Structure 1
């Protein structure tokens, strides 16, 4: 990737705000992490249910995280208790991706298994409706209503970038 232009070389009119500036700053943090560690900050996806059902939310999550310079590890559909699930749960931050119906059926047990595996932060792609009054619920939710730049910055902080 091309190196960003040094701030002192930029000529930006006073009072003008570029919409992409926050996201460029996030990607610059990711680039610095890549330079220091040899890999991008990465979040694991926990796709539940078949591809035809989880693909919408895995795609949304992948694109949202990429806009902030965060890579994803997508193992494909995983089932708690399998070696694939354990490998997918090996990252500090994960995002569960599936349908509302899948969340209602298995979401709470997936969250419980992820906590048992030692995952530090569990997010859910979608609204919290499936987890109302749940004993085991995610730490946060990724939806189209979030402040994306702020959320991505917080995630980069959690990943050490």
Structure 2
């Protein structure tokens, strides 16, 4: 393993390290590393901007987004955790803090006291609207290097890649 870069030096991602790899390295590996590098760069910047602009985290933003999509009916903790692809424990802690801040309401389910429903409060809807507008601008800025045609082609190709991956692991195509 190589030593860490000196202070002030740019961090090197796995894709960059593999750029000059011998021809024996598979094209698929380089592609996967490029996709990871892009996702990590964008996600890291979104996390940074959410923290600086709103004092919040990406998981909190994601939970608010799931509740916004669900509408007034809301979602159970289990539904939120499935949609966010995280454990119930992670969602429980985040939801409790959002409830305490008045952004999310929790209603008991009379049929099953263990299955409470979460929904956005009016304040939560307003706050999420502010955050999501900024988020949309940030994503547009971060992808501004691609033309509309490039974005459409990349979206189509990534959809095919997602379908192929699902098929390979025994799931349904995208």
Instruction: With the length of structure 2 as denominator, give the TM-score of the two structures.
Output: 0.30
Higher relative contact order (CA 8 A, sep 6+): 1
Instruction: With the length of structure 1 as denominator, give the TM-score of the two structures.
Output: 0.32
Richer in helix (by share): 2
Which structure has the bigger radius of gyration? 2
